[in-house]
Amino acid sequence: MKCRGFRYCRVLTVEEAVESFVSCEGEARFLAGGQSLLPALNLRLSAPDLLIDISRVEGLRGITLEGSDLRIGALTRHVEVLHSPLVAEYAPLLARAARFVAHPAIRNLGTFGGSLALADPASEFPACVLALNAQIEIAGLSGRRRVAADDYFLGLYETALEPGEILTAVYIPAGRTWQRVCFDELSRRRGDYALAGLAAQATFRDGGEVLTALRLVFCALGSKPMRAQAAEAALLNTKVDAVAIEAAQHALSQDLSPDEAEDLSSAARLHLARVLLGRVAHALREGAC
């Protein structure tokens, strides 16, 4: 298929982008890496009148340390996240997850902000951002605001972004209080969206034996990145031994109730989430992530 005709403009500032969006008669869309938007256009699933290319907007690219936060600009490519020494040091969870995101050709173009703006429930970065307790910076007509990841992901492809707003950056607490992170996923083919994915951040005390803080966020198991608080509770203040892991796996049915997917029943999806939880919890305990 060929996409429907559209107008195109390239903007160089956030203000210009927002301005172009609100003054557009008809439907406008921002274009970042194009790795999700262009396939949608070519399938005629989406047919905006205007594409506003933000890929060269100043200041939206790059990874920096700002005070106690690691700032990742929205236009940072997946490949940059994968290889950044700053990410490896202050947000290693993202570096681990990045290698599960698509294939090299897509990672070379796809953007971190685009992934979060789209909020595909199967995507790795949204789950990580939620596990990392990050802040998401949004720019619109009325200026910039920050939204906690907990309040950002609202539903299926639905976020706190209002029409015409741009996701400009993500701020990740870089205090290094989290001692262990783990990202793992199950997929039938390498590079595919996962059957089940799990991002985890954990702190252990008592010589690294007892788990004292934990955020577990699943991808591909609901309409958005899914925090698993019942499972977290079952593991907190334990030594993450076999009994605790089993309790957490059991508790997972309170956190997740996946729909039947195309070739997986809801029972199988929950089963896979439990298996993954078991593997990730084990890895956290062993520090082998």
Partner 1 sequence: MSNASDIPFAKTTKYIGAALPRATAKRFLFGRGRYTDDIEVPRMLSAAFLRCPYAHARILAIDTTNARKFPGVHSILTGVDLARICRPWVGTLTHFAGMKSAPQLPLAMEKAVWSGHPIAIVIAETRAQAEDALEAIQVEFVELPAVVDALDGLNEHSALINEAAGDNLIYATQIEAGTIAQAFEDAEIVEADFIFGRHTAVTMEPRSILANFDPSTGRLDVHQSTQTPYQFQDVYARHFNLSEANVRVVAPDVGGSFGMKLHVYHEDMAVVGASIISGRPVKFTADRMESFASDIHARDHRVRARLAVSSEGILRGFDVDDVTGVGPFSTYPRTSVVEGNQVVRLIGAAYRVTDYRAALRVVAQNKNQMSQYRAVGHPVAFAVTEYLVDLAARKVGLDPFEIRRRNYLTQDMYPHTTATGYQIERLSLEICLEKLHEVMDYAAIVAEQERLRRTGVYRGIGIATYVEITNPSPAFYGVGGGHVSAQDGCILKVTQSGEIQCMISVTEQGQGTEAIIAQIVAEAVGTDIATVRVFTGDTDMTPAGGAAWACRGAGVGGETALQAGKKLKKRIVEVAGAILHCPAHHLTLVDGRIVDAQQHTRMTLRELAHLSYFRSDLLPAGRPAELTVAHHHGPSGFPFAFTNGIHGSLVEVDVETGIVKILKHWVVEDCGTVINPLLVEEQIRGGVVQGLGAALFEECRYSASGQLLNGSMADYLVPMACEMPDIEVYHVETPTRDTELGAKGCGEAGTAASSAAALNAVNNALSVFGASITQIPMTPERILRAIGAVG
Q: Rule CB under 6 A: say whether 124 interacts with ligand FAD.
A: yes
Provide, rounded to whole angstroms, the least separation between the CB of residue 42 and partner 1. 9
Query: For residues 102 and 202, which CB has a smaller minimum distance to ligand FAD in the complex?
Result: 102
Which amino acid, residue 221?
L
Per-state percent for the chain, helix, strand, coil, to nearest 5: 35, 25, 40
Query: For residues 34 and 173, which CB has a smaller minimum distance to ligand FAD in the complex?
Result: 34
d(CA 239, CA 253): 22
Nearest CA to 179 among 148, 212, 150, 225? 212
Query: For residues 90 and 193, which CB has a smaller minimum distance to partner 1 in the complex?
Result: 193
Asked if residues 240 and 212 have their Cβ atoms less than 8 Å apart, the reply is: no
Query: Considering CB distances under 5 to 8 angstroms, the limit depending on partner class, which of partner 1, ligand FAD, none binds residue 34?
Result: ligand FAD
d(CA 57, CA 85): 24
Query: Considering CB distances under 5 to 8 angstroms, the limit depending on partner class, which of partner 1, ligand FAD, none binds residue 97?
Result: none
Number of residues engaging partner 1 in binding (CB under 8 A): 25
Q: Which of 95, 102, 200, 231 binds ligand FAD (CB under 6 A)?
A: 102
Q: Rule CB under 6 A: say whether 110 interacts with ligand FAD.
A: yes
Tokens linked to 50: 């205007």
Interface positions, 5-64, toward partner 1 (CB under 8 A): 5, 43-44
Interface positions, 155-194, toward partner 1 (CB under 8 A): 186, 188-193
Interface positions, 193-212, toward partner 1 (CB under 8 A): 193, 195
d(CA 285, CA 250): 18
Give the strand order in the sheet containing 196-205: 180-186, 196-205, 210-219, 226-227
Query: For residues 254 and 265, which CB has a smaller minimum distance to partner 1 in the complex?
Result: 265
Query: Considering CB distances under 5 to 8 angstroms, the limit depending on partner class, which of partner 1, ligand FAD, none binds residue 69?
Result: none
d(CA 135, CA 113): 12
Q: Which of 31, 272, 280, 283 binds partner 1 (CB under 8 A)?
A: 272
Asked if residues 32 and 55 have their Cβ atoms less than 8 Å apart, the reply is: yes
Strand positions, DSSP E, the chain: 7-10, 28-31, 50-53, 63-66, 69-73, 135-140, 143-148, 153-155, 158-159, 166-173, 180-186, 196-205, 210-219, 226-227
Binding site for ligand FAD (CB under 6 A): 29-37, 39, 74, 101-102, 106, 110-111, 113-115, 117-118, 120, 123-125, 161, 166-167, 193
Binding site for partner 1 (CB under 8 A): 1-5, 43-44, 186, 188-193, 195, 262-265, 267-268, 271-272, 275, 278
